[in-house]
Structure 1
Amino acid sequence: MEKQLLELILPKGLLDHFDIEKIEQGTEKDDRPFIRIHLAEKNQIPRGYNPNEYESKGFHKAKTLVDFPIRGNFVYLHIKRRRWRHKQDPKRIISNDYSHLAEGTKMTAELSAFLKDTGGDPDRIN
């Protein structure tokens, strides 16, 4: 039920690719209420790559994005993107490209830019 509610609140399609790790609610030092939603990318290798050639090697450093406030609470999305390393050439790192999520969707400019910056370039080392 929690996931269904979050699907109504979060940018469309985000939960198709990311799992909710935890949700925190609290108050900042200056008494501003907040909700922190921690998301981790699902273990789905980028389309077009052979899963026998790559292995999941953890996550890139999490990014924190500010989303629309909910009921007077500041909303922070902590997003961790997964990375895959080529088994024979460890310098070849790939990641999923989520630019399709950012196009035609109502979301913050910050989240849109983050999703467009994911790129699946195998020669790119993040």
Structure 2
Amino acid sequence: MPLIKLLLLNFILDHFELILVDQHAQTLHLHLEELNNQPKEQQKDNLLSKGLFSCITVQNFPMRSHQVLLHIKQCRWLNLAPTESFNTKIKAFRNQFCEVRNVEFFLYQLTHLYA
């Protein structure tokens, strides 16, 4: 596995951990998992790590006359700040229309105002 790390891009090695390397015929399978580091663009946001997304496969990654398939699992992040503000918007909207008789119309208005 250390030799394959020399062939991968630095960006991949900085953000992903190489978990497994398989070879089937002329195809090399590299299994990568994203490191659990909060993205630099969102350092000020209140993010919560929620595990990993299901695996995606990148097929167009040729390397030295071998076909290489990258099997990538990315981190799933939950941004807590917008969730809190959205909940407060719903409460304010509900307080404005205390006695809603038509629930379908209420939900329609809610989705169009805050979507």
TM-score range, shorter chain: 0.5 to 0.7
Give the corresponding residue for 2:75: 82
Q: Which consecutive aligned stretches of 4+ in structure 1 deviate over 6 angstroms post-superposition?
A: none
Q: Secondary structure at the match of 1:40?
A: strand
List runs of 5+ in structure 1 lacking aligned partners: 28-32, 93-126
Provide the rounded CA distance (Å) in 2 between the counterparts of 1:21 and 1:63. 14
Provide the rounded CA distance (Å) in 2 between the counterparts of 1:19 and 1:68. 20
Corresponding residue to 2:66 among 68, 73, 86: 73
Work out whether 1:7 is the aligned partner of 2:5.
yes
Aligned length: 82
Work out whether 1:45 is the aligned partner of 2:38.
yes
Return the offset for 1:25. 1.0
Give the corresponding residue for 1:98: none
Largest Rg, 1 or 2: 2
Larger proportion of strand: 1
Corresponding residue to 2:55 among 57, 62, 65: 62
Give the CA RMSD over aligned residues.
Answer: 2.5
Provide the rounded CA distance (Å) in 2 between the counterparts of 1:7 and 1:23. 11
What TM-score comes out, normalization by structure 2 length? 0.58
Q: Secondary structure at the match of 1:68?
A: coil
Aligned partner letter, 1:6: I
Return the offset for 1:50. 4.3
Q: Secondary structure at the match of 1:67?
A: coil
Larger proportion of helix: 2
Return the offset for 1:6. 2.4
Provide the rounded CA distance (Å) in 2 between the counterparts of 1:24 and 1:39. 12
Q: Secondary structure at the match of 2:63?
A: strand
